[in-house]
Chains A and B, each alone.
Chain A
Amino acid sequence: MNGFPILSLITFLPVIGMIIILFIPSKMIKEIKITSLIITFLQIILAVVLLGNFNYNAGGIYEVSSFQFIEKFRWIELTGLSWIGTIKVDYFLGADGLSLPMILLTAIVSFIAIISSWNISKSIKGYFALFLLLDTGMMGVFVALDFFLFYIFWELMLLPMYFLIGIWGGPRKEYAAIKFFIYTLFGSVFMLLVMIALYFSAGETLADGRVVYTFNLLALMDPANYLDNGLLSPLNPNNYRLAAYIALFVGFAIKIPMFPFHTWLPDAHVEAPTPISVILAGVLLKMGTYGILRISYPIFPEITEQLAYYIALFGVINIIYGGLVALAQKDFKKLIAYSSVSHMGYVLLGMASMSTTGITGAIFQMFNHGTITAMLFLIVGVIYDRAHTREINGFGGLANKMPIYTGFVTVAFFAAIGLPSLSGFISEALVFVGAFGVAEIRTLTMIGTLGILIGAAYMLWTLQRIFFGEFNTKWENVLHDITFREYAMLIPLTIIIIFLGIYPSAMLDIMNTSVNTLVEFIANGAQNIRISGM
């Protein structure tokens, strides 16, 4: 793989697809759809190639040499800008055990979301073009190792998402789209501030006395690169670092979404068309937790340790609060949206443990939530396409009318409940194992385990209300069992969920070395900074 820019290819392939689509006349609907399908399928192939060439023993995280598929060259260089000195931005891509699961997830979910987009009827050309642009943005976030580049991808994904919800959405689409947009932008501003502050805090001094600042994430992780008087320098710990951490965290937390920044999510989900909900829950939410692990943790190890308790606290609030609010929902899609809030809480809790088991669980939970929730939203889509309502109490007895659909629903629901032998169990269990091992958050973890009861309650109750009991004959002619296209979406996800439930090592081994590296790096980093600060 040496020298072949596979990460660039997997990232920008959708843009190539977008350009092709822009050249296809908008009447050629089928060609547009098939182009998108091929592009996302090629993306899966590339992801599999990545997996095949992946070195399981390379840690990555902070060390350039153990990152894989690296591409690095100077992208922007402006010299002699008065007091700023030289601005350098690298085009720096690379993958490690933290990003590969997310790359795989993005490829899989995008492909399935394209299949799910087949029955989009409004301005198809624009839809698929924007969708592919969104795909590039998401993939880029997971491969970028330069903060500036990361930020560009982060913002790149925002715009197509805004239009995809705002144009192809439901009745209150404008409200949902603008809420999503402004909320995320609000977070981005914080991220931008921290990024600039970091930029001016670290850099190398050249022979002629000029200081060259850097956006390179790996360079920012090394305390040695910080300037003595740098604002955010770990060499002289100060409250600015704490403030920067919190600001950055808020930027990421909005995306997760973490309580109390979560209210854009139910609105966005309810209004978004099914495939966009799938993308939103399947991939977008992970960008927040990924960002924390990739950027906040290794750059601010000592603050992470300091605030771990609060991260766990918010994780547990997400779990319990999201679950209880889900229990009260009457709209099927809104219920799934709140279940996402709850399930992302597990990710936060696992991360807060800063242990191998916990962080492994968190990343695995990110992947599993991506596949399971994607499946749940597809399931909502199946019923909404037919009945044009999502009112849970409006159905009943569907098990007899749509037995195969019910089978898929049962698998997805029990995966969400965390039934052993399905993937969700492993990640939730690892999160609890990791978090319980940390004395400070043990009590919180015990409270968090109530989430598995609440989760089972709202899922089984929903299963009962929609699928069991007497069939509501109102739907006699409307509801039919699933079609070939729906099989094509649901079967791959089902297989992944069952396979990873029985053989989790397939995924855990990918992230293992990196997680161990990360855990050790944070522990050592935090300790070194504490010593230097004394």
Chain B
Amino acid sequence: MSETANINISIAILLLPLLGFIIVLFFGKRFPKIYLAEVGIISFAFILSLVVGYSKLTSFLHQDLLFSFTWINFGNVPKIGELTVDLGIKIDNLTVIMLFVVNLISMLVHIYSIAYMEGDKRYSRYFSYLGIFTFSMLGIVLTDNLLMMYIFWELVGLSSYLLIGFWYEKQSASDAGKKAFLTNRIGDIGMFIGILILFTNYKSFSFDFIYSQIANGILPYGSEVWLTAAGILVFMGAVGKSAQFPLHVWLPDAMEGPTPVSALIHAATMVAAGVYLVARIFVMLTADAMLVIAIVGAVTSLFAATIALTQNDIKKVLAYSTVSQLGYMIMALGVGAYTYAFFHLVTHAFFKACLFLGSGSVIHSMHHEQDIREMGGLKKKMPITYYTFLISTLAISGIPLTSGFLSKDGLLAGTLAFGELTGHWLIPIMGFLVAFLTAFYMFRLVILTFHGEPRNQHKFDHAHESPFVMVMPLVVLSVLSTFIWYTPNPIGATDGWFATEWVQTPQTVVPETSRFDFMVREPHEASVGEHGLIAHSEKYEHAMHWAHYPAMILSILLGGLGILLAFTMYQWKKISPDNIADKVKSLYKGSLNKWYVDEIYDASFISGTLGLGNILSWFDKWIVDGIVNGSATLTRVFSKISGWFDTYIVDGFVNATAFISGFIGLNFKRMQTGKVQTYIVLVVFSIIVLFFIIGPF
């Protein structure tokens, strides 16, 4: 298939779900069966993504397929010259793998939802939302530039908001939707500023163009500090979307959405978009930026794992495990284990989707009971759900023969190699600790849900295996959670096609002075390794090689230990969990209450902002407007005073003058008697007076 054909099909894949969204949104009321169109469209998009994937990985394995067009043209801009904003798509191996993963899981979730959402009063609305989500997610996957990334980034935020708050009659659901959107926006602001830094300097949003400029030594504002800043700021978008600490708080709440949505959006695809973003900007990350990313990832994965230990809601446990696993992937990117980070993204997408859909199957059959303390013994009632759930749990725990083992092992080996090369040993230590905790809390979940005796007989009696459309996706996903799809060697990912042929660490473009020296092959070393192009130095290869077996053995040991402990505590009940909880009461409480992060945010940021709003509103009303009204009042008072002054002083003066003249006139007129004798007397008197005043003596 030609390059153009691949691109055209990819554009079709992108637009099909949008079409589904529009059709179902506008015709859902009139034609209740229209949701089937949406399911059909997604299935068709999935088939197309298989076609593109096959074509790309066979015919264009080492070649990117590109397509772009001018969206906005600013013409000849003063001081800059021609300035355009281009949009476009870039199809590389990452893209086609993601197309496959997103479309497959989306399709399975569509099918699953037919039964799961049956009877909901907004049934067709639900499918249209799934359509717009899939469209937005595919946009993120296909983009070749940061602007389009941001556009679709926000759109998945919208669809996530709509789907979390799908049952908006519930206060908790609409709260959760709002929280998800706002928390994500915090990260998005950082991402946006990062994009602004890059655009200001390179006048382009295109990944490839920006990287080629950096490779040519043109740095943002001429400084490596700004390059680091840009990397970390763009990464903030991933902190929000992939629920990394400290913005992880929205994801557990997002479980208010329908469970298939949790599987699709809040486990397999959207939350992985953050990881995908970091993979996309990987080549421009400086050593400092990578270290920050590694630390954020490691802290997140450990932090979330400690919370998952004590949760009793089946979906909450899975939500925290998702946060933890996303932290893993972010950490892996931070330590430079690019391939394994992406590998883990893919394997995690399948087994976590399977776990969520499995939990949905349980919740569905238990009449919307989500508390694992009310479950138990469901293995007998729901065997298919149980076994698929178990396979996925083994995968997430990193047990050999599963896909999760391969990716997790590579990822942990990467952290070990990083520790060896840089001395940051804390990161692998946290990584391995999480491996142990994961195995423990996941088996705690399995045992409490499926093993033992039912703890709520009534609900147990009503439980039943789910219908075919619900278990079929579970089977597909659990089959995909085995090693065989990625490598023929169950304990060696490097023998497979995924980690060596399809996904390779790209060459960093960061200048020598601010990158990890092991990220680039020395000039004297061959540029082509054993399995094609390899970006890392030989030093790194050696470290990776050295770390391979210790990592594998440690992770199997720790995973096994975690499982063993879970069985000892919950299956065989040799150790009472309550006793432990009593002994470390404050720790237990802290974990159970998610380390009070929500409470802290409520008390600080949220109350602070609302309080500030109230204060400013008061200020606006009484001070700013007070001055306006005050000056109006003042003017009125002044005009009253001047009115009074006018009436009584100015006019009074006038009147007084008139009065005085009148008064004088009145008195003087008395003299006008008209009698000659009086006049003569006055004249004589006057002369005498004058005579005395000016007289000669």
Contact = CB atoms under 8 A, between A and B. Distances in A.
Interface of A: 179, 182-183, 259-260, 262-264, 321, 324-329, 355-357, 360, 397, 399-400, 414, 419-421, 425-426, 432-433, 436-437, 445-446, 449-450, 452-454, 456-457, 460-461, 464, 467-470, 504-505, 508-509, 512-513, 516, 519-520, 523
B614 interface: yes
A357 B150 contact: no
Interface stretch (B151-159, B501-509, B584-592): B151-159
Contact of B196 (A328, A360, A399, A433): A433
A140 to B, nearest CB: 28
Contact of A260 (B75, B150, B624): B624
Interface in B587-634: 609-610, 612-614, 616-617, 620, 624-625, 627-628, 632
Contacts of B186: 453
Given A453-B189, A504-B72, A512-B74, A469 B168 contact: yes
A325 B78 contact: no
A22 to B, nearest CB: 34
Nearest to A521: B78
B189 A436 contact: no
Given A432-B196, A512-B74, A328 B610 contact: yes
6 contacts: A357-B83, A397-B169, A414-B158, A419-B154, A432-B196, A452-B185
A66 to B, nearest CB: 14
A421 B628 contact: no
Contacts of B475: none
User: Which residue of A328, A356, A508 has the most chain B CB atoms within 10 A of its CB atom?
Assistant: A328
A325 B617 contact: yes
Contact of B182 (A436, A446, A453): A453
Interface in B142-172: 150-152, 154-155, 158, 161, 165, 168-169, 171
Contacts of A452: 185, 189, 192
Contact of B174 (A183, A456, A469): A469
B37 interface: no
Interface string B656-680: 0000000000000000000000000
B181 interface: yes
Contacts of B77: 355-357, 516, 519
Contacts of B632: 179, 182
A328 B609 CA distance: 10
Contacts of A460: 161, 177-178, 181-182
Nearest to B151: A420
Given A328-B617, A505-B73, A468 B169 contact: yes
Given A505-B71, A512-B73, A523-B79, A457 B609 contact: yes
A502 to B, nearest CB: 10
The contact size tier of chain B is 35 or more
B75 A512 contact: yes
Question: A-side binding surface: helix, strand, loop or mixed?
Answer: helix
Nearest to A515: B74
Contact of B168 (A263, A324, A468, A508): A468
Q: Rank and list the top 4 A-B pairs by shortest CB-CB distance, nearest first.
A: A327-B613, A328-B617, A420-B151, A263-B625
A419 B155 contact: yes
B569 interface: no
Contact of A456 (B171, B185, B192, B193): B185
B200 interface: yes
A64 B184 CA distance: 49
Given A321-B620, A468-B165, 16 more contacts: A179-B628, A263-B624, A321-B616, A328-B616, A420-B154, A432-B196, A433-B196, A436-B197, A450-B189, A460-B161, A460-B181, A461-B178, A468-B171, A469-B168, A504-B71, A516-B77
Given A400-B169, A460-B182, A446 B193 contact: yes
A426 B150 CA distance: 12
Given A263-B628, A453-B189, A512-B73, A420 B150 contact: yes
A516 B74 contact: yes
A355 B283 CA distance: 31
A179 B192 CA distance: 40
A150 to B, nearest CB: 26
B78 A516 contact: yes
A436 B194 CA distance: 11
Nearest to A508: B72
Contacts of A321: 616, 620
A516 B189 contact: no
B495 interface: no
A254 to B, nearest CB: 11
A329 B174 CA distance: 20
Contact of B76 (A324, A399, A509, A516): A516
Contacts of B76: 516
Contact of B200 (A259, A327, A437, A449): A437
Contacts of B155: 419-421
B123 interface: no
Interface in B59-79: 71-79
A520 B189 contact: no
A179 B193 CA distance: 40
A259 B625 CA distance: 11
B175 interface: yes
Contacts of B75: 512-513, 516
B174 A468 contact: yes
Contacts of B168: 399, 464, 467-469
A469 B169 contact: yes
Contacts of B182: 453, 456-457, 460
A59 B515 CA distance: 48
A436 B616 CA distance: 27
A420 B185 CA distance: 13
B609 A325 contact: no
Given A468-B165, A470-B169, A453 B185 contact: yes
B387 interface: no
Contacts of A508: 72, 74
Nearest to B168: A468
Nearest to A264: B628
B199 interface: yes
A456 B151 contact: no
A260 B628 CA distance: 10
Contacts of B165: 468
Contacts of A397: 169
Contacts of B74: 356-357, 360, 508, 512, 516
Nearest to A446: B193
A116 B199 CA distance: 43
Given A421-B151, A453-B182, A523-B78, A432 B613 contact: no
A327 B617 CA distance: 9
B68 to A, nearest CB: 15
A326 B617 CA distance: 8
A66 B363 CA distance: 70
A436 B200 contact: yes
Interface string B276-319: 00000000000000000000000000000000000000000000
B616 A324 contact: yes
B175 A464 contact: yes
B200 to A, nearest CB: 5
A417 B457 CA distance: 49
Contacts of A183: 628
A329 B193 CA distance: 29
Contacts of A260: 624, 627
Nearest to A56: B75
A357 B72 CA distance: 11
Contacts of B614: 328
Contact of A432 (B83, B152, B192, B625): B192
A523 B77 CA distance: 12
A105 to B, nearest CB: 20
A395 B315 CA distance: 32
